Amino acid sequence: MKPSNLKWALRSIVSLLGGLFLASCLEPADQILESSGSGRIVFVKDPSAGGMNMNRDVAMAANPDEFHPGTDLMLLSPISPSGNLTNLTAQWTRSRDNQSEWGAAQDPEASYDGNRILFSMRKAGARDNGHPRFTIYEMNADGSNLVQLTFPKGWDDMDPAYIDDNHIVFASTKNQILDEYERRIVPQLFVVERDAAGKLSEPRQITFNQSHDQNPFVHSSGKIYYTRWDHLGGPNKMPLFSVNPDGTGQFVLYGADETFSTQGMTSGSRTFMEARELKDGGIVASIMERTSDFEGGAICVIDISKFSSAPKIITPSTSPYTTTQKRSDAIFKTPYPIMDGGEEKILVAESSHETGGDVDGVVNYDLFIIGKDGGTPRLVHADANANDYDPVVLAPHALPNMDILNKSLVPRAINDGVKTGTFFDANVYSRQNDGQTRGADLDGKVKYVRVLGAVGTPSGCNFCSQTLGNTEFERQHVIGYGDVRADGSFSIEVPANTPMHVQTLDEDGLMLVNQLQWINVMPGEQRMCTGCHGPRDHDGDINLLKINNDTVKFAPDTPQLQEFMSGFYNSQKVGEHPSVRAGILNFQTLRDTTAGANTGSIQSIFDNRCNSCHGAADAGTKGGGLVLEANGDTTFINHGTTNVYENLTSGNHYASADGKSSTNYATDNGARQSPLAWVMFNRQLGRTNEKTFRTPTYDHSGLWQKDAATGKIQVFAEKNADLLALIEWMDMGVQFMNTIPNK
C-alpha cells in the first residue's frame, strides 16, 4: 500500500474507533486556544467523501446549484479528536424522510463575541419556484435561537461575514446574470444593516463584477477582502480584492501581478481563495490552480504590503499550486488562524489522497493544525465518511476599524439621488508591466479615454452559452469618452453601480491600452489613482494627493510636487463628450435579412458604404476579392456568424505588402492592429513594419470628413460616425452574437 493510502486508512480506522487511541497520544485539548479562554470550533461536515461528487473545479465553489444534501454545521468542543461533536443544523437540513429533499448548511462565521454563528443554509424541502435557495441565518453557538436574516426570492444568498455587530456582507446571485466563462449564475457582494430592533435593511450591492465575487472576510482595517474571478478578455485568474464596506475603493489587493508567472510560484490562473488575517498583519490563504482537483491545493502566507512578491508556501511541495497535471499526495483548503499553546498556528482541512495527473483520485478532508512555517500536521477531527472543512474558531476577537463605514458619504449620496461618481487618474503613462503597450511606445500619444460598460448575460437566455465570435471579450457597450490633459491626467464622471473598464486612445480614437479589469464607483464616490495600472509601490502617494477646486495636487504644498490639470470639480461627463452620439451600434445584433431591418449593426455600414465595390458580384474586380455583402449563409465555424464576419475575423485574408505574412482584417487586439482600420486611414497604424501595409488602389480615407488645415480624419466628427463605430467594434473585440434573431 502506498504511504498516502496507508495514512488515509489509519485515519479511517482511528475515526471509526471514536478517537480512543488518539485521545491518549495527542496533546491535551486545554493547550489549544489557552490564551483566548475558549476551545470550540464550528465546521462543515459534507457527506461527499471518497467519491468524485465533490466539485473538481475551484471556480465553482460559490455556485449554489452544487451542494450535497445533508451537509451540516458541526460544533467540536473542546478542540480535540475526543471532543464532543454536536450537529447544529440537522433539525433543519434532515427533516425529510427522502434524502433527496435534504438541505445543506455551509459558510460558518463567528460573531465578534464568539457567541453567535452566521451561515447560509437551504432548509430541507424548502422551495422557491421549485428550487431550493440558500438563505443567510444566524444562531447561537449551541444551535439555539435560529433567525433568518435574508429573504431571497429567485436567487441565493451565501458566504456571509460580520462587518461589525450591525452590518453583514454576503455573496448573492440576486442579479441573475451569467458569468463570462462557465455561464453559471454570478454571485456578487451585498451589505445589509441591522437596526436596534434587529430589523435588516434592503441589501445593497457593493461589488460589480461579471464573474464570481466570493469568500469575503473583514480585515482589521475595516476593509472587506474577497476573491474575485477576474476574467475580462484573456485574463482568467482569481486574485484577492479589497473593497470598503460602503462599496467604495474597490481594487485588486494581491495575486493579479504578471510577475507571478515568472517566479515559478503560480501559473496564469493565480487562484487565491479563503483568505484570513494573521496577527502579524499577514494573510493566510489557499492557493491552487483554477481547475485544481476537489477545490484543493496548497496553503500560503502572503505579505500584502509586497504586491509583486511571491507567496510563502507552508504545505508540502507536492501540493498542487502550479499545475493540475502534477501528482499530489495531499491537498489543502480553508485555512483559519488559531492560537495553540500561546502560538498562532493554522487550522486547515487536508485530504491525504493522491490526486492530479493521471490519478483518478478521491477526497476525504479532515481537520488539522499546522504551524505558520508548516511542519507536521496535528489531527483535530477525522471522519472517513465525510469531508470536514471550513473550520471557524468560536472565540472573542476584536472589532475592526469602522472609521470607513462611520464616515461614509455614500448613504447620503443615495438619499440625495446621486447616480454618478468620479474617477481621477494622475498619469496615464504610469503603469506596471501588464503585457500591453507601455513606455516610449505611449509617451505623449494618449489623447482620450473610452469608457465601456458590461452588458450582463441574463439567466435563462437560451442561446447565450454560445460564443460572441472570434474574440475573448464578452458583451460591452460604449458609455462615453473623456479627454486626457496635456499632463497625462484625466477626470471623468461616470455612472455609479456599473461595471466598466477604460481604454486609452490616440488622436485617431484608436485604442492604445485596454484595461482588462472591471471597475466601478459608488454614488458620489471620488476615486483617485496615481496611474493606469500604476506600480503598486506608488500606492502610498494617494495619501499625498490634495483636492483643490479645479485641480488635484500633491500635499504638502511644495514647488517640486506636481499639480494636475484634472480635478474632481472640472471632471467631464463621459456621456456628454462630443464624440457620443445617438444610436450607438449594437455590436451583438446579427444582420436580419428582412427588408429594412438590418440597421443598428456593423453589417449596415458595409451595406450603405462598401458594397458598391465589395458586393459579391464586384468584389473580384473592384474590391480586391474582399466580399462584404452578407449572403445569409450561417454554416460557418462559429455556429451562426455570417460570411462577412468570417471574411473579416478569420482565415488570414489580408496579405502583407511583401507577401510573406497574412493576418485577419479585424482582430480582437483592436483597431490599431487591424488592417481594416489601416485601409480606412490609408496608412499603417499600430506597427512599425511598414511592409505589412499594402496600399489599396482606392484611397478609403476619402470616405471620411477631414480637417481642412491638417488633412487628418476627424474621427469624432458627426459625419464620421460610421468610422468611429468600426473602430469601436474592433477595439471592443470584434464581438458578434452568434445566433439568428428570434430563434
pLDDT digits (tens, 9 = 90+) for 656-671: 898 888 999 999 889 9
For the ranges 420-429, 462-471, 478-487, 598-607, the lowest mean pLDDT is seen at 462-471
Rounded-to-5 percentages of helix, strand, coil across the chain: 15, 30, 55
The share of the chain scoring above pLDDT 70, in percent, equals: 76
Q: Per-residue confidence at 554, pLDDT binned at 50, 70, 90?
A: low
Q: Which three cell numbers stand for residue 291?
A: 481547475
Helix runs in 79-154, H state only: 90-93
List, in order of start, the domains of the chain with CATH numbers. Answer: 3-404 (2.120.10.30), 411-576 (no CATH), 602-731 (no CATH)
Distance CA 149, CA 199 (A): 8
Among 67-81, 348-362, 473-487, 523-537, which range has the highest average pLDDT?
67-81
Residue 26: the pLDDT is 34
Whether the per-residue pLDDT at 620 is higher than 90: the answer is: no
Average pLDDT on 44-66 reads 64
**Amino acid making up residue 519:** I
**Amino acid making up residue 5:** N
* Sign, CA torsion 629/630/636/639: positive
Residue 459: count of CB within 10 angstroms of its CB? 17
**Amino acid making up residue 60:** M
For residue 239, give the nearest of 541, 517, 534, 528 by alpha carbon: 517
24 vs 377, higher pLDDT: 377
Whether the per-residue pLDDT at 742 is higher than 70: the answer is: no
User: Do 481 and 574 meet the contact criterion of CB atoms below 8 Å apart?
Assistant: yes
Residue 2: the pLDDT is 39
Average pLDDT on 242-259 reads 85
Residue 3: the pLDDT is 41
Distance CA 330, CA 316 (A): 8
Distance CA 467, CA 736 (A): 8
Average pLDDT on 464-480 reads 75
Q: Per-residue confidence at 322, pLDDT binned at 50, 70, 90?
A: low
Whether the per-residue pLDDT at 96 is higher than 60: the answer is: yes
Grid-cell match 473580384, residue found: 620
User: Do 684 and 671 meet the contact criterion of CB atoms below 8 Å apart?
Assistant: no
pLDDT per residue over 298-317, tens digit each? 899 998 887 777 888 898 87
What is the rounded average pLDDT for all residues in the chain?
A: 80
Count Cβ atoms within 10 A of the Cβ of residue 522 and give its class: 0-12 exposed, 13-18 middle, 19 or more buried.
buried
Count Cβ atoms within 10 A of the Cβ of residue 5 and give its class: 0-12 exposed, 13-18 middle, 19 or more buried.
middle
Average pLDDT on 699-721 reads 93
pLDDT per residue over 712-732, tens digit each? 999 999 899 889 989 999 999
- Paired strand residues for 527: 423
Distance CA 612, CA 618 (A): 8
335 vs 16, higher pLDDT: 335
For residue 743, give the nearest of 615, 593, 606, 611 by alpha carbon: 593
Residue 582: the pLDDT is 58
For the ranges 106-115, 576-585, 722-731, the lowest mean pLDDT is seen at 576-585
Whether the per-residue pLDDT at 270 is higher than 80: the answer is: no
Among 229-238, 430-439, 661-670, which range has the highest average pLDDT?
661-670
User: Do 243 and 223 meet the contact criterion of CB atoms below 8 Å apart?
Assistant: yes
The share of the chain scoring above pLDDT 90, in percent, equals: 43
Q: Helix (H, G, I), strand (E, B), or coil: what is residue 603?
A: helix
Whether the per-residue pLDDT at 225 is higher than 80: the answer is: yes
DSSP secondary structure, 547-590, as one string: E-SS-EEESS--TTS-EES--TTS-EEGGGSTT--SS---TTPP
